[in-house]
Amino acid sequence: MVQTKLLIIGSGPAGYTAGIYAGRAGIAPLLIEGIQPGGQLTTTTEVENFPGFPEGIDANELMDNMRQQAERFGTKILSNIVTKADLSVQPYKVWLDDGEEIQAQTIIIATGASAKYLGLSDEQKYMGQGVSACATCDGFFYRKKVVAVVGGGDTACEEASYLAGLASKVYLIVRKPFLRASQIMQERVMNNEKIEILFETNTLGLYGEDGVEGAHLIYKKGEAEERKYDLPIDGFFLAIGHHPNSELFSQWIKVDEQGYIITKDDTPCTNLPGVYAAGDVADSNYRQAVIAAASGAKAAMEAEKYLKENE
């Protein structure tokens, strides 16, 4: 069994920034990296909107820098996955995939959110080579190109509108005969002449030599008018929702109807004393690295205050 003053769960911008702040405060936190070391950002290529890098920075390099910065100040990083938690009493307990038990006085949950994918093998094949789940992150690479966005909700409409400002043409691939998005977002998409909505259409696969060159689509699957065709595109954006990685904790931590951890007012404080949530696991709205990093800093500062007050 390992004891720690502060356990940080997650290794995205929120987790590492929490590590940097808590480390500098002399807390020597323990950080568990999780399934995807470096977090969601590592699924993209270059990051151009993180301040401080005027020429942009490779996403993996950015995350590696953050990791090193956290380690420099005494954050101990374990390449493990948390498989179980018990937050019923303090000290809080979590268990790792190797069976190790960790007891922590405070916890920062920075487990992020995961974009939903269709489950096609081609999504993996072309990941970072034309497939993306973040228009804000990757849209810039598709200036004057043709892209498709999958989904009919607010995120899909927002991403399609954003991409229409960059790309020459945006197809919105919607499986139903209508959009689920709010009225205002629907109107925005429908009134944008660069966006063409392909209703009742599903994606069967993607094709291309060194990256996405097109999508295999099916219209009105299983109906008399069923038609399969290929749509030439340069980029394929998923916008079919995200799910916050909060399941391990939701028995004790209050979450909203979508599973996002509810924090108090403008703080990272959850309903449990000494337990904080930072980054996308508590943010259904912004989902940006810089915002996750800031919330990680806030969470570490709250943890430090809590530890001082409860020493």
Binding site for ligand NDP (CB under 6 A): 118, 150-156, 158, 175-176, 180, 240-241, 284
Alpha helices in 142-211 (DSSP H): 154-164, 183-190
Residue 239, phi then psi, degrees to nearest 5: -145, 55
Least Å distance, CB 31 to ligand NDP, is 29
Whether the Cβ atoms of residue 242 and residue 292 lie closer than 8 Å to each other: no
Q: Which of 122, 137, 234, 280 is catalytic?
A: 137
Least Å distance, CB 230 to ligand NDP, is 18
Alpha helices in the chain (DSSP H): 13-24, 59-72, 121-125, 135-138, 154-164, 183-190, 289-309
| 269 labelled catalytic | no
Q: Which of 64, 86, 98, 134 is catalytic?
A: 134
Helix (H, G, I), strand (E, B), or coil: what is residue 34? Answer: coil
Which residue minimizes CB distance to ligand NDP? Answer: 153
Whether the Cβ atoms of residue 13 and residue 293 lie closer than 8 Å to each other: yes
Which residue do the tokens 């979450």 mark?
255
Nearer to ligand NDP (CB atom), residue 155 or residue 246: 155
Nearer to ligand NDP (CB atom), residue 157 or residue 294: 157
- Measured CA to CA, the distance from residue 227 to residue 270 in angstroms comes to 50
Whether the Cβ atoms of residue 167 and residue 142 lie closer than 8 Å to each other: yes
| 137 labelled catalytic | yes
Radius of gyration from C-alpha coordinates of the chain: 21
Least Å distance, CB 225 to ligand NDP, is 19
Give all strands (DSSP E) within 65-168, no chain letters: 76-78, 82-86, 92-96, 101-109, 113-115, 131-132, 146-150
Nearer to ligand NDP (CB atom), residue 176 or residue 264: 176
Nearer to ligand NDP (CB atom), residue 51 or residue 177: 177
Nearer to ligand NDP (CB atom), residue 89 or residue 183: 183
CB within 8 Å of 187: residues ≥ 6 apart = none
Whether the Cβ atoms of residue 129 and residue 207 lie closer than 8 Å to each other: no
Residue 6, phi then psi, degrees to nearest 5: -140, 125
Q: Which of 58, 64, 138, 280 is catalytic?
A: 138
Least Å distance, CB 222 to ligand NDP, is 15
Nearer to ligand NDP (CB atom), residue 105 or residue 155: 155
Least Å distance, CB 172 to ligand NDP, is 10
| 134 labelled catalytic | yes
User: What residues are labeled active site?
Assistant: 134, 137-138
